[in-house]
A and B are shown apart, each in its own frame.
Chain A
Amino acid sequence: KQEVTQIPAALSVPEGENLVLNCSFTDSAIYNLQWFRQDPGKGLTSLLLIQSSQREQTSGRLNASLDKSSGRSTLYIAASQPGDSATYLCAALNYTGANSKLTFGKGITLSVRP
């Protein structure tokens, strides 16, 4: 059974700092891993998706990496801004056709202080 862990549950940093959010998973046979952002009272917004054959994906100030062998993914946020404050979730897909599993971590609540 796939388990996805995100530690710590909350993080507070000053504006401008570069930071790394961690995501670990127990079953390395993933098809892809996706990072999402959730603002309070809102749905999720997809940030980056990494296929199992890829090592990283970049979008603007965000860079996500994937190391299947060690069961880890990281989301790197450069030059953090107060607008980055939100909860960040990762989700691992184990694709087996009709019995596929999509497992989410519990999220990391990020607060960027002005």
Chain B
Amino acid sequence: DTAVSQTPKYLVTQMGNDKSIKCEQNLGHDTMYWYKQDSKKFLKIMFSYNNKELIINETVPNRFSPKSPDKAHLNLHINSLELGDSAVYFCASSHGLAGPYEQYFGPGTRLTVT
């Protein structure tokens, strides 16, 4: 009965590698998000897609690219990983962005770049 799932839960990789984190929601939501939470626990939104259309696109390096193959999936691909990319990445979803729509979060993916 998982609502928002992310894989993998932990990811350890070396600098310069390319990696992807997958997110899936089975709530029938139209909007999905990617967040980054740094070592100081500060949470910042990176992207938001509504019906596969990008609606929030914060200033993040071009090395980060979201991919939404369908409404239920929003994957995050990261090229040329750097030490500063180490963080916990959360996926979330909601019925919409503008409205009384609460967000549901996944369990997070802890990325460690060595």
Residues on A close to B: CB < 8 A? 31-32, 34, 36, 41-46, 49, 51, 87, 89, 93, 95, 97-104, 106-107
The answer to whether A106 touches B42 (Cβ under 8 A) is yes
The count of chain B contact residues (Cβ–Cβ below 8 Å) is 26
A43 near B101 with CB under 8 A, answer no
A43 touches B97 (CB 8 A): no
On B, residues with C-beta under 8 Å from A are 4, 33, 40-45, 48, 54-56, 90, 92, 97-108
Quick one: which of B40, B105, B106 has the most chain A CB within 10 A? B105
A64 to chain B, nearest CB (A): 12
The answer to whether A107 and B41 touch across the interface, beta carbons within 8 angstroms, is yes
Complex contact B102–A43 (CB within 8 A): no
B contact residues around A32 at 8 Å (CB): 98-100
Partner of A51, one of B33, B100, B108: B100
**25 A–B contact pairs at CB < 8 A?**
A32-B98, A32-B100, A41-B108, A43-B105, A44-B92, A44-B105, A45-B105, A46-B103, A46-B104, A49-B100, A51-B99, A87-B41, A93-B97, A93-B98, A95-B97, A97-B55, A99-B56, A100-B48, A100-B56, A100-B97, A103-B45, A104-B42, A104-B44, A104-B45, A106-B40
User: Chain A interface mostly helix, strand, loop or mixed?
Assistant: strand
Q: Across the interface, which residues of B come within 8 angstroms of A49, CB to CB?
A: 100-102
Find out whether the CB atom of A102 lies under 8 angstroms from the CB atom of B90: no
Given the interface contacts A43-B106, A43-B108, A44-B90, does A100 sit within 8 Å of B41 by beta carbon? no
For B107, what are the chain A residues with a Cβ–Cβ distance below 8 Å? 42-43
With a cutoff of 8 Å between Cβ atoms, the chain A residues found around residue B41 in the complex are: 87, 106-107
**Given the complex of chains A and B, what is the CA–CA distance between A31 and B97 in angstroms?**
10
